[in-house]
C-alpha cells in the first residue's frame, strides 16, 4: 500500500491519538524508507528505542531462534532467559544486591516503581512521590499524574493523589516539598520530553544526600536515557549517582516491547507474591531480544561510540548555532540524546528536515531533539549536519522575508 491508502485505513479504524505524516515500511541501521521508496536518515530512533539501529542481524537471529523454541509460558514457570537478562542488568547497574522485575513498557515500569515506593513506605504512612516539573513518566493515570506537565493531565481528572511537584535542578524546591508523607523522589537524569535538559551534577548528588538524610527513596526514570543513550549504560551513571531503584524500557528491546525495574538491596525483596504481577512481562522472546541488545552494545563498543559521535555531533551543531545565534539559543544534552534549542518554534525546522530526508523530533515547543542510533557513523553525523545546516539556512531566509526588520524578527544579518 502507498501512504494515502495506509492513512485512509488508519483514519477509518484507528483512534486518532497520533497525526503521522509519512508511512514507514522498512529500516536498516540508521535509515528508514517510506511507502513510496523515499529514504530518510532516522535521528528519531523510535523515540530513543532503536539504539542499535533498525534490523540489526544479531537481534534478528536472536528473535528468530527464540520464536522457534519458546515464545511464552507466563511467570508461573521459570524461563531461563529472564534470570540471564536480570543478571546482565544488575551487573551493569552496579547497585548492591540488585534484582529485576520485567514488564512491557516504560509506563508500566514507572507504575511499578511508584507501587514499590508506596509498599516500602506503607508501614510508616509514606506514600507521596515528588517528581519534577516538565518531567515525563508515562500515560497511565498514575504516571501521567507523576508527569509534571499539566497538558498531559487535562481531561483525566480526578487524578490519583500522592504526587508533589518540585523544580528540576532546584534542590531547595525538592527539600521544601518533603513532608512526613514523602516516600520517594522520582527524577530523570536528563529530561527528554521536557526539552532535553540535563540534570546539574550538584543537583543529583544533593538529591542523594537529601534522600539519605530524610529517610526517603531516590528513584530514577531511565526509560529514555538508559541503555547507553548518554554514553553510559544508564544516565545516572554519567553523574556517579546510585539510586535505590530505576526504570527501563525503550532501548532495552530495540523495538521489541519490554520494560524493567532494577532495584538495589533496599527494595529488591519488597515485592512478594501477590504484590505485583504481569502476564507478558519477561517472556523468553522479549528477554532474548534484550540480551541481544546488550551483546551488541558490548561487542561493538557502542558506549564509546556514543561518547565519540556525541562529541562530534555537538561540535558541528555548535557551529550551526553560532552561525544562527540570533535564533538558535544553545546545544544541550548528553551522549546521543541532544537538543538544538531555538528561540522560535521547532516544528518548522523538523518539517524542513523531513522534506530533506531526515527525521528528528520537535519537543517542548522550541527544541529539536536528535536521537541517532548508538552505532551511528561519522559519515551519517556529517550527513545530518549538512541537512540541518541547509534547513537552518532556508528557515533563516524565510523568517527574514516575513520580518525584514531585524528588530521584529530578532535575527539581523
Q: Output the known binding site.
A: 106-107, 136, 139, 221-224, 278-279
Residues 139 and 300: beta-carbon distance below 8 Å: no
**Binding site residue list for N(2)-acetyl-L-ornithine:** 139, 278
Tally the C-alpha atoms within 13 A of residue 374's C-alpha that lie toward its C-beta: 34
What's the rounded Cα separation, in Å, for the pair 63 and 68? Answer: 9
> How many Cβ atoms sit within 10 Å of the Cβ of residue 14?
9
Cα 168 → chain centroid: 17
Going by their DSSP bridges, the two strands 128-132 and 182-187 should be labelled as parallel
**Binding site residue list for pyridoxal 5'-phosphate:** 106-107, 136, 221-224, 279
Helix (H, G, I), strand (E, B) or coil at 195: coil
What's the rounded Cα separation, in Å, for the pair 296 and 299? Answer: 5
What's the rounded Cα separation, in Å, for the pair 180 and 212? Answer: 14
Residues 116 and 270: beta-carbon distance below 8 Å: yes
- Report the DSSP beta bridge partners of residue 191: 197
Cα 236 → chain centroid: 13
Length of the chain as a residue count: 413
Locate 311 and state its grid cell: 562529541
Helix (H, G, I), strand (E, B) or coil at 343: coil
Amino acid at each position: 500500500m502507498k501512504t494515502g491508502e495506509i492513512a485512509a485505513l488508519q483514519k477509518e479504524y484507528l483512534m486518532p491519538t497520533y497525526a503521522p505524516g509519512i508511512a514507514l515500511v522498512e529500516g536498516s541501521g540508521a535509515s528508514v524508507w517510506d511507502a513510496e521508496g523515499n529514504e530518510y536518515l532516522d535521528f528519531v530512533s523510535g523515540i530513543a528505542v532503536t539504539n542499535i539501529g533498525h534490523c540489526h542481524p544479531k537481534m534478528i537471529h536472536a528473535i528468530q531462534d527464540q520464536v522457534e523454541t519458546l515464545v511464552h509460558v507466563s511467570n508461573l514457570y521459570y524461563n531461563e532467559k529472564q534470570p540471564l537478562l536480570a543478571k546482565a542488568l544488575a551487573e551493569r547497574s552496579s547497585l548492591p544486591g540488585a534484582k529485576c522485575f520485567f514488564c512491557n513498557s516504560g509506563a508500566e515500569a514507572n507504575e511499578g516503581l511508584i507501587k514499590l515506593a508506596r509498599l516500602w513506605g506503607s508501614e510508616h504512612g509514606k506514600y507521596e512521590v515528588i517528581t519534577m516539573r516538565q518531567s515525563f513518566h508515562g500515560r497511565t493515570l498514575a504516571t501521567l499524574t507523576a508527569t509534571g506537565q499539566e497538558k498531559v493531565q487535562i481531561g483525566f481528572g480526578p487524578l490519583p493523589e500522592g504526587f508533589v511537584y518540585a523544580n528540576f535542578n532546584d534542590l531547595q524546591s525538592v527539600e521544601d516539598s518533603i513532608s512526613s508523607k514523602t516516600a520517594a523522589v522520582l527524577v530523570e537524569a536528563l529530561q527528554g520530553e521536557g526539552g532535553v535538559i540535563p540534570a546539574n551534577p550538584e543537583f543529583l548528588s544533593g538529591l542523594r544526600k537529601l534522600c539519605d538524610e530524610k529517610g526517603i527513596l531516590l528513584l530514577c526514570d531511565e526509560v529514555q536515557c538508559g541503555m547507553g543513550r548518554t554514553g553510559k549504560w544508564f544516565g545516572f551513571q554519567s553523574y556517579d549517582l546510585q539510586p535505590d531503584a530505576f526504570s527501563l524500557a525503550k532501548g532495552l528491546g530495540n523495538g521489541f516491547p519490554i520494560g524493567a525495574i532494577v532495584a538495589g538491596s533496599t527494595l529488591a525483596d519488597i515485592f512478594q507474591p501477590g504484590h505485583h504481577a504481569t502476564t507478558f512481562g519477561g517472556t523468553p522472546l522479549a528477554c532474548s531480544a534484550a540480551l541481544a541488545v546488550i551483546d551488541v552494545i558490548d561487542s561493538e563498543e557502542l558506549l564509546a561510540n556514543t561518547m565519540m559521535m556525541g562529541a562530534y555531533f555537538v561540535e558541528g551543531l555548535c557551529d550551526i548555532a553560532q552561525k544562527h545565534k540570533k535564533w538558535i539559543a544553545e546545544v544541550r544534552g548528553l551522549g546521543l540524546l541532544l537538543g538544538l534549542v531555538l528561540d522560535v518554534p521547532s516544528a518548522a525546522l523538523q518539517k524542513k528536515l523531513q522534506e530533506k530526508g531526515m527525521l528528528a523530533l520537535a519537543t517542548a515547543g522550541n527544541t529539536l531533539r536528535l536521537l541517532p542510533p548508538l552505532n551511528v557513523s561519522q559519515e551519517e553525523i556529517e550527513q545530518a549536519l549538512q541537512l540541518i545546516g541547509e534547513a537552518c539556512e532556508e528557515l533563516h531566509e524565510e523568517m527574514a522575508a516575513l520580518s525584514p526588520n531585524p528588530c521584529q524578527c530578532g535575527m539581523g544579518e
